[in-house]
C-alpha cells in the first residue's frame, strides 16, 4: 500500500509518534510519502531514518490512504488537500479530544497491522459547498461547517434565510452555523446544537447567541440549498469555512449546499460512532 502522511507544524514534542509510524510502515514494505513541510519540521526531532520517504507538496500526491497526524484541525487540513481525489483518510490523534482523528497514538501499530491486512471500513462523509462572489477562496468546501459571523464588536447581524425558494426566518444574532453531521460535534455543539449521526443525510442550521427565545437549532435534509442575505450596521461580516475566514460586505452572495464529492474516512472494524461518544464525551455516564 501507498500511504501519504500529513501533519501539523507545531507539535515538535510529538514527532516521535510519526517516527514510529514511518518505521513501522517501512519495515512492512509499504510505500511511504510525507508532506514536505511537515517532514522538514519533524526531521530535527526524529533523528536519522533507515530510509528517506517520498516528499510531496500540498495536493501534489497520490496514495491508497492518507494519514493525518495531529488533531481534528490537522484532519480538516488533510481533507482539504485530498479534495476530490477519493483517497480515504485515517486520523491519528496526537491532539486533544479528537472526533475525526479518533485513533490514539498508543494504537498505531495494531491499527496499521489491521489496515495492511484489510481489516477496516470506510465511511463517506458529506461536505458543504459555498457558492458566493467572494474573490480568492481557494477551497470552498467544508467537512464541519460554514459559519456567518459578525466581524467586529458591532451589534448583532441580521441573516435572512431561505431554504431553496422558501423563506425560513430572519435571524438576529452573533452569527449562524450551517453544519454537516460530521460537524455537529464541533462548533455547532459548542453553541447548543444537536449531535447527529455522521452518515445521516441532514444538515443543521444553528444560530449563535440569537436575540430571541423562539429560534432553536433546525435540522433539514442535505439535498436543499440554503440562501443567506446578511445585513450589518458595520456593513461587513465574516464567512468561516472550516475555520478559514473571509471578510465580506453586504453585497456578498451566500449559497450553501451539499458538495458533489465526499470525504472518505477510515474507521477501525467494530468501532462505532457511539463508542466515540461514550469515550470522548462521556455520553450517558453516571458519576453519582
Q: Write the pLDDT tens digit of every residue in 41-90.
A: 999 998 878 888 999 999 999 999 999 999 999 999 999 999 999 999 99
Annotated catalytic sites, by residue?
Answer: 72
Q: Kindly report, as residue ranges, where domains of CATH 3.40.50.10330 are found in the chain.
A: 2-118
Q: Kindly report, as residue ranges, where domains of CATH 2.60.200.30 are found in the chain.
A: 127-260
Question: By percentage, how much of the chain surpasses pLDDT 90?
Answer: 78
CATH number for the region 2-118 comes to 3.40.50.10330
Q: Write the pLDDT tens digit of every residue in 101-126.
A: 989 999 999 999 999 999 999 999 99
State pTM to two decimals.
0.93
Cβ-based neighbours of 44, under 8 Å, separated by 6 or more: none
Distance of alpha carbon 243 from its chain centroid, rounded? 9
Is residue 95 predicted with pLDDT exceeding 80?
A: no
CA distances from 277 to 40, 113, 271 (A): 35, 25, 11
Residue 154 pLDDT level (bands cut at 50, 70, 90): low
Is the domain covering 127-260 a CATH 2.60.200.30 domain? Answer: yes
Residue 148 pLDDT level (bands cut at 50, 70, 90): very high
Look at 243 and 286; give whichever has higher pLDDT: 243
Q: Write the pLDDT tens digit of every residue in 189-238.
A: 999 999 999 999 999 999 999 998 899 999 999 999 999 999 999 899 99
The per-residue pLDDT of the chain, averaged, comes to 93
Is residue 279 predicted with pLDDT exceeding 90?
A: no
Is residue 188 predicted with pLDDT exceeding 90?
A: yes
Residue 96 pLDDT level (bands cut at 50, 70, 90): confident
Residue 276 pLDDT level (bands cut at 50, 70, 90): confident
Amino acid at each position: 500500500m501507498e500511504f501519504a502522511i500529513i501533519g501539523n507544524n507545531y507539535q515538535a514534542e510529538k514527532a516521535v509518534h510519526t517516527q514510529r509510524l514511518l518505521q513501522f510502515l517501512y519495515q512492512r514494505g509499504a510505500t511511504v510519502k510525507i508532506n514536505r513541510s511537515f517532514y522538514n519540521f519533524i526531521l530535527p526531532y526524529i533523528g536519522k531514518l533507515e530510509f528517506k520517504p517520498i516528499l510531496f507538496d500540498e495536493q501534489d500526491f497520490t496514495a491508497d490512504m492518507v494519514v493525518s497526524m495531529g488533531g481534528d484541525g490537522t484532519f480538516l487540513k488533510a481533507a482539504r488537500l485530498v479534495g476530490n481525489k477519493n483517497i480515504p483518510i485515517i486520523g491519528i490523534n496526537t491532539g486533544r479530544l479528537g472526533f475525526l482523528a479518533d485513533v490514539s497514538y498508543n494504537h498505531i501499530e495494531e491499527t496499521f497491522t489491521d489496515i495492511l491486512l484489510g481489516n477496516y471500513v470506510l465511511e463517506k462523509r458529506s461536505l458543504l459547498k459555498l457558492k458566493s462572489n467572494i474573490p480568492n477562496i481557494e477551497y470552498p468546501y467544508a467537512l464541519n461547517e460554514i459559519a456567518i459571523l459578525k466581524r467586529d464588536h458591532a451589534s448583532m447581524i441580521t441573516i435572512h434565510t431561505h431554504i431553496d425558494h422558501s423563506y425560513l426566518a430572519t435571524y438576529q444574532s452573533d452569527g449562524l452555523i450551517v453544519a454537516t453531521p460530521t460537524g455537529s460535534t464541533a462548533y455547532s455543539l459548542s453553541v447548543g446544537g444537536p449531535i447527529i449521526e455522521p452518515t445521516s443525510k441532514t444538515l443543521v442550521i444553528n444560530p449563535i447567541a440569537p436575540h430571541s427565545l423562539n429560534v432553536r437549532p433546525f435540522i433539514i435534509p442535505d439535498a436543499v440549498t440554503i440562501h443567506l442575505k446578511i445585513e450589518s450596521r458595520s456593513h461587513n461580516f465574516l464567512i468561516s469555512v472550516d475555520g478559514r475566514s473571509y471578510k465580506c460586505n453586504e453585497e456578498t452572495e451566500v449559497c450553501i449546499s451539499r458538495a458533489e464529492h465526499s470525504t472518505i474516512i477510515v474507521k477501525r472494524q467494530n468501532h462505532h460512532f457511539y463508542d466515540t461518544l461514550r469515550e470522548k464525551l462521556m455520553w450517558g455516564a453516571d458519576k453519582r
